[in-house]
Amino acid sequence: MNVRHMLVCGAIAFPALGSASLAHHSTAVYQDVSIVLKGATMKSLFWGNPHTILTFDVKDASGGVTTWSAESGSATSLSRIGWTRNSLKAGDAVTVELFPARNGAKVGRLAKVILPDGRELLDSLSRAAEP
């Protein structure tokens, strides 16, 4: 294989290698103002990569229950700031602050979770975690 052939192959392969990092979505689908959901009950915590997902129920004023989901940073990034896969369990009563979806879906980008004892679990990539 000559140098010219290697350069042509490299020019073709290089854009393909970078496409995986460009495929990740931004937070543009979420509103810029957070909301606080008090009295939430944890259903599940998916501890994984590239995102950790919290699913929880929230009662409204009329007693109806709505299920919400919030995406968070990766398990790796959350573990660096003190989270574990056991930080939240099904049935835990929590308050959740998130940036809701612009389209009105009951999903959002996590800002933080407030535990009954007042401790806060911040999202690793959240605006709430910024200095």
Residue ranges and CATH numbers for the domains of the chain are 35-129 (2.40.50)
pLDDT given for residue 17 in this prediction: 44
Per-residue pLDDT of the chain (131 residues; tens, 9 = 90+): 564 554 444 444 444 444 444 445 567 899 999 999 999 999 999 999 999 999 999 998 899 999 999 999 999 999 999 999 999 999 999 999 999 999 999 999 999 999 999 999 999 765 444 43
Output the pLDDT for position 84: 94
Instruction: Using alpha carbons, list the distances in angstroms from residue 101 to 7, 14, 18, 111.
Output: 44, 34, 28, 13
SS3 content of the chain, % helix, strand, coil (to 5): 20, 35, 40
For residue 107, what pLDDT is reported? 97
The pair of structure tokens assigned to 46 is: 């998916």
Task: List all residues 6 or more positions away from 124 whose beta carbon is below 8 Å from its beta carbon.
Answer: 72, 73, 74, 77, 78, 80, 81
Distance CA 69, CA 110 (A): 9
CA dihedral (101, 97, 41, 72) in degrees, to 10, reads 70
Pairing of strands 107-114, 65-71: parallel
Which two three-digit tokens encode residue 8?
């042509």
